[in-house]
């Protein structure tokens, strides 16, 4: 069982660099359990069956020569240049990640003090994981702000960022799925106040006057 009828599962949606992980961290400060699909994906990549699939498909070049761990940058260079390769990888990864996510949600509900679960996943809609959520929240930020953030934090070029964006469903379509929007365009303190307001609205609606 992955849901609790009395408690929300909040799915965060937004473009790359919008600040979904920042919002997730702020919700964690409120006591929410965050299910980080990116972290789970890193773990799944190292599963024996997935490593074998990677080796069969792309050879030993996708493994670090020193650590023998999967070289995620090498994998990304392959899949984000070829939609067919990305689709093949997703078919292997997404079901395994979803099972881990469902397990994490179930574990969270076993703790009575858990007020809500937050799913932080870049491809929440694309992978169909939005089915696990009771509420979808769009983290909104301008294109320029998003690029500046990923350029500063990850060193991505505009071409690299644009390529990743094109591999996802366009923001206009995602926006239509969301009940709520959090604008992340100013200070951290402003964002935190917006996150707290949303948290109160979703988790303690009886205490909200609006």
101 exposure class (CB count in 10 Å sphere: 0-12, 13-18, 19+): buried
Lowest mean pLDDT among 44-58, 132-146, 157-171, 178-192: 157-171
Residue 180 predicted with pLDDT over 80: yes
Domains and CATH numbers, the chain: 9-48+97-205 (3.40.50.300)
Task: Give the residue carrying structure tokens 């020193």.
Answer: 66
Nearest to 90 by CA among 100, 79, 101, 99: 79
pLDDT bracket for residue 83 (50, 70, 90) = very high
Nearest to 26 by CA among 116, 108, 143, 100: 116
118 contact partners, CB below 8 Å, separation of at least 6:
9, 10, 11, 12, 24, 27, 28, 32, 33, 34, 35
CB of 199 closer than 8 Å to CB of 208: no
Share of the chain above pLDDT 70, in %: 95
pLDDT bracket for residue 1 (50, 70, 90) = very low
More confident residue, 172 or 44: 44
> How many CB atoms are closer than 10 A to CB 209?
3
């Amino acid at each position: 069982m992955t849901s609790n009828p009395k408690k929300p599962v909040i799915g965060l949606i937004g473009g790359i660099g919008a600040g979904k992980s920042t919002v997730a961290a702020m919700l964690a400060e409120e006591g929410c359990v965050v299910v980080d699909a990116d972290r789970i994906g890193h773990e799944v990549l190292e599963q024996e069956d997935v490593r074998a699939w990677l080796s069969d498909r792309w050879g030993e070049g996708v493994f670090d020569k020193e650590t023998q761990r999967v070289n995620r940058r090498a994998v990304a260079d392959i899949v984000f240049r070829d939609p067919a390769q990305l689709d093949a990888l997703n078919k292997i990864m997404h079901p395994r990640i979803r099972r881990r996510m469902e397990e994490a949600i179930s574990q969270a509900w076993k703790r009575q003090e858990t007020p809500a679960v937050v799913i932080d996943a870049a491809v929440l809609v694309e992978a169909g994981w939005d089915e696990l959520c009771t509420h979808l929240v769009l983290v909104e930020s301008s294109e320029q702000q998003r690029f500046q953030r990923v350029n500063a934090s990850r060193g991505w070029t505009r071409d690299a960022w644009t390529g990743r964006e094109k591999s996802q469903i366009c923001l206009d379509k995602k926006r239509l799925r969301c009940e709520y929007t959090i604008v992340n365009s100013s200070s951290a303190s402003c964002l935190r106040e917006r996150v707290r307001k949303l948290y109160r609205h979703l988790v303690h609606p009886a205490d909200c006057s609006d």
